[in-house]
Structure 1
Amino acid sequence: MKLILIHEMVRIALSAIWANKLRSFLTILGNVVAVSSIITLVSLIQGITEEVESVILSEVGADAFLVDRRGIMRSEEDLERTRNNPRITLADAEAIRRFASGVTAVMAEGRRSGEVRYRQHVLESVRIQGVTEEFIRFSTFNAEIGRLMTPAEVRRKRNVAVLGSDTADRLFGALDPIDRQVKIRGVPFRVIGVSRP
């Protein structure tokens, strides 16, 4: 009895589908498009998540984090709201190093823009970055020519600089920049390396 009932229901359903071909086709098409859209969206979100995670892990590592005065700026309002946040100083970095027992390394960096000069060649508004000795532990930065600064040079506050490849090209042209003296914001520095582009 039940088998006959199921058979009759299937026959009625198939005849309804056959009688309304366009409606049936559009219903199936709508379902296929909806399922495909969901699968595509989920795949896209997973891909973006994996890419962001890989960038974060390659830049700072899985066990590193960044403390910034302003955080992530998404709008002018964010910039205005954080304008009066207190500056983070080397003393703050030293306090973290001294009092945070679970922290194995602390790197501080400062960024500004300013003039970089080699003889008569002057570059305005160059991005300048000063770092503490732990920089090499945190960075994926490499020197294409010359070398990076050593922790001892940073500790002793030696005026050494690693230039970006674009800055080196614009200042020195075909000259070898290693061991030449540049002025960064008016202070003399010896060039020890040029970073990879």
Structure 2
Amino acid sequence: MGFAEAINIALQSLWANKLRSILTLIGVVIGVASVIAVITLTNGVNKYVATKVYSYGADVFTLSKQPPVIFTYEEYEKFQKRKDIHLDDYEAIRDNCKACADVGALQSTTGKVVYGTHSSTDTSIRGWSWNMPEMSNLNVVLGRSFTPADQQYATHSAIIGYDIVDNLMPGMDPLGKEIRVDGEPYTVIGVGERQGKTLGQSQDNYVSVPITTYQRKYGTNKSVVIYIKAGSVGPALDRASDEARALLRSRRHDAPNAEDSFSLDTNATFVGLWTSISSTFFFVVIGIASISLVVGGIVIMNIMLVSVTERTREIGVRKALGARYTDILLQFLIESATMSLVGGAIGVICGSGVAKLVTVLIGFPSDIQIWSVFLALFVSASVGIFFGVYPARKAAILDPIVALRSEM
């Protein structure tokens, strides 16, 4: 029996026993679908995180009171005891850091925005230094961005996201309109480009105001995050981070051998941290999905044993006509591999569909990788071969006389 004929027999067997085939392959389908869905969603989030983080530029780093991610309550208590970073710290680094190409500052909170009879809640209210839109690669598609004068004179100017435009000013030209942010009036001078949703949360629900204006409204008792652009990566980034770090240590009177009383984070820090978290999640889910593959493989082995019993006389005839041990072994291995490969193909389709459905429903990013499809098909075929060895060997070692006599 040729290779193609063995595959044809396997497909005919699947089609002839549809319900049995579905029950046989369901474990492989679930396992492969889980693996594909996890890989697709994990790759999508990794790609999104890298894109968003690097939107500030690979040469940008931050100085903040505490790191962006805290893992233990002890760490949280430790970081909360640190002194706040103030606007004058930002100004000192801006004016004295020779290796820094650009320096910006950010503070944020959430609040209520009102225009006429429309309002929005849980809107991100951002206090930005005048150059932060450019540093964060936010394109102002309508109107203008902030100027140094807006920051110097604490003007009541605002750059808004498209959620504010769509929900509070539908069909209107937003430029020049007066909105109220937590009761304070601001004039809209610009609208940022659409950024869409991430993990179900809109990135366009924000109002940005000059940081000096922000502090007059919300006070100065909240720490500032300082964004610093080095100009290029490599040695320039090292020089800028070393100089900025030394300046801030000096201002905060950190002892020579003491650790920093602030956090310095580069884009590589953020991406590396996320990759570490997502990798752990990935391997845990893959381990769980592997259980389904093992269960599916055991079911395939059981069905192949049943198939060997049903076809004992056929095996005897083939052996009597000269079929060798390897011919019988190969036939049943091809059949078991084909069965699991079909299950793998269905699993790939189901897994990709689930990942894309999650993206459509909640905005969770997904990214299908071709290598993951081939890996899933390879793994499913390998499961079929591995669990098909025992039934195939049992068929191959049958005595032809006994096999021919079995149904007489």
Q: TM-score, normalised by structure 2?
A: 0.33
Larger Cα-atom Rg? 2
Q: Does 1:63 align with 2:36?
A: no
Structure 2 Cα separation of the partners of residues 52 and 173 of structure 1: 29
1:115-134: CA deviations, max 9, x gaps? 11112222222101111122
Other-structure match for 1:154: 151
Structure 1 Cα separation of the partners of residues 169 and 47 of structure 2: 37
SS of structure 2 residue aligned to 1:179: coil
Other-structure match for 1:73: 69
Offset of residue 84 of structure 1: 3.5
Offset of residue 92 of structure 1: 0.9
Other-structure match for 1:23: none
1:148-197: CA deviations, max 9, x gaps? 22233233221111111012211112222110000112211101122111
Aligned letter for 2:83?
P
Q: Identity over aligned residues, as a percent?
A: 27
Aligned letter for 1:73?
V
SS of structure 1 residue aligned to 2:60: coil
The answer to whether the 8 Å contact 1:179/1:191 transfers is yes
Aligned letter for 1:132?
S
Other-structure match for 1:101: 98
Tell me which stretches of 4 or more aligned residues in structure 1 moved more than 3 Å.
50-58, 78-81
Length, aligned pairs only: 150
Offset of residue 74 of structure 1: 4.5
Structure 1 Cα separation of the partners of residues 65 and 147 of structure 2: 27
Q: Does 1:177 align with 2:139?
A: no
Offset of residue 87 of structure 1: 2.1
Structure 2 Cα separation of the partners of residues 144 and 52 of structure 1: 22
Other-structure match for 2:163: 166
Other-structure match for 1:128: 125
Aligned letter for 1:182?
I
Structure 2 Cα separation of the partners of residues 72 and 129 of structure 1: 17
- Which structure has the higher relative contact order (CA within 8 Å, separation 6+)? 2
SS of structure 2 residue aligned to 1:128: strand
Segments of structure 1 that go 5 or more residues without pairing to the other structure are 1-46
The answer to whether the 8 Å contact 1:108/1:131 transfers is yes
SS of structure 2 residue aligned to 1:154: helix
The answer to whether the 8 Å contact 2:107/2:128 transfers is yes
Structure 2 Cα separation of the partners of residues 175 and 52 of structure 1: 32
The answer to whether the 8 Å contact 1:142/1:195 transfers is yes
Moved more, 69-78 or 58-67: 69-78
Aligned letter for 1:55?
T
Q: Does 1:115 align with 2:126?
A: no
Structure in which a larger fraction of residues adopt strand: 1
Offset of residue 89 of structure 1: 1.3
SS of structure 2 residue aligned to 1:153: helix
Q: TM-score, normalised by structure 1?
A: 0.65
Q: 1:124 to 1:52 in 2, by over 3 A?
A: closer
The answer to whether the 8 Å contact 2:131/2:147 transfers is no
Structure 1 Cα separation of the partners of residues 162 and 48 of structure 2: 26
1:71-129: CA deviations, max 9, x gaps? 12154635454334322211110121233332232101111111111122222221011
SS of structure 2 residue aligned to 1:158: coil
SS of structure 1 residue aligned to 2:163: helix
The answer to whether the 8 Å contact 2:111/2:123 transfers is yes
The answer to whether the 8 Å contact 1:116/1:122 transfers is yes
Q: 1:81 to 1:157 in 2, by over 3 A?
A: same
